[in-house]
Amino acid sequence: MKHLVAILALSGMVVSALALREHYRTDTSPCSINERWDCGIVNHSPYATLGGIPVAVICIAGYCLLGVLALRRAYRSLLAAVMAGLLVTGVHTVLWLAMVFSLGGIFVGVQEALEDSLAAELVPAAQHGMAFGTLAAVNAIGDFASSVAIGLLWTSVSPSGAFAVGGILFLAGAILLRRLG
């Protein structure tokens, strides 16, 4: 598992480095198809920086951190870092929304594998079946309860209120997970 996450992190660093190169490119972008389809437009837009720092630089640092944590088998810290990274993702357009959902799918795959790896490390091999079953049951109950609670907030307060509460709980979970490690 640690090698798979490290390879994915390295791939992310390479893609981010290419995006950073595109961010500073002054000539025609190699992915420029026409005025509407051009990755250079995105990489030169205000959405490509955060506090004056190119997003690609932040991504390179984040992927580097994830790779190091994976190789050190620091699964709690890795899971907390992934959760915190997803927390700060902003949704501004349909393209961003599609990217967030894609990253969310990748996150769920990595997060579930990391949870299983952590459970396998914490529990003796003879009790793995019981541990994985308990983990699945707790996750299912938590998923149901959170879906009901956020759904009620969404309809009774507002979608922004539901996202705010979800983000606060997400951050609290990342902090708690990090403190347990």
Query: Which tops the pLDDT comparison, 80 or 158?
Result: 158
What is the per-residue pLDDT for 100? 65
Entry pTM: 0.46
Residue 141's pLDDT band (cuts 50, 70, 90): very high
Q: Is 50 helix (H, G, I), strand (E, B) or coil?
A: strand
Q: Is 49 helix (H, G, I), strand (E, B) or coil?
A: strand
Q: Do 128 and 121 meet the contact criterion of CB atoms below 8 Å apart?
A: no
Q: Is 180 helix (H, G, I), strand (E, B) or coil?
A: helix
Which helix (H) or strand (E) covers residue 129, if one does? helix 128-156
Q: What is the largest CA-CA distance in the chain?
A: 61
Does 15 have pLDDT greater than 80? Answer: yes
Q: What is the chain's mean pLDDT, rounded? A: 79
Q: Give the residue carrying structure tokens 């922004």.
A: 160
What is the per-residue pLDDT for 97? 58
Query: Which tops the pLDDT comparison, 125 or 87?
Result: 125
What is the per-residue pLDDT for 120? 86
Residue 181's pLDDT band (cuts 50, 70, 90): low
Encoded tokens for 20:
């950073």
Residue 36's pLDDT band (cuts 50, 70, 90): low
pLDDT single digits (tens) 47-104: 788 778 888 888 888 888 888 888 887 777 777 776 666 666 555 555 665 676 677 7
Least trusted range by pLDDT, from 55-64, 78-87, 108-117, 132-141? 78-87
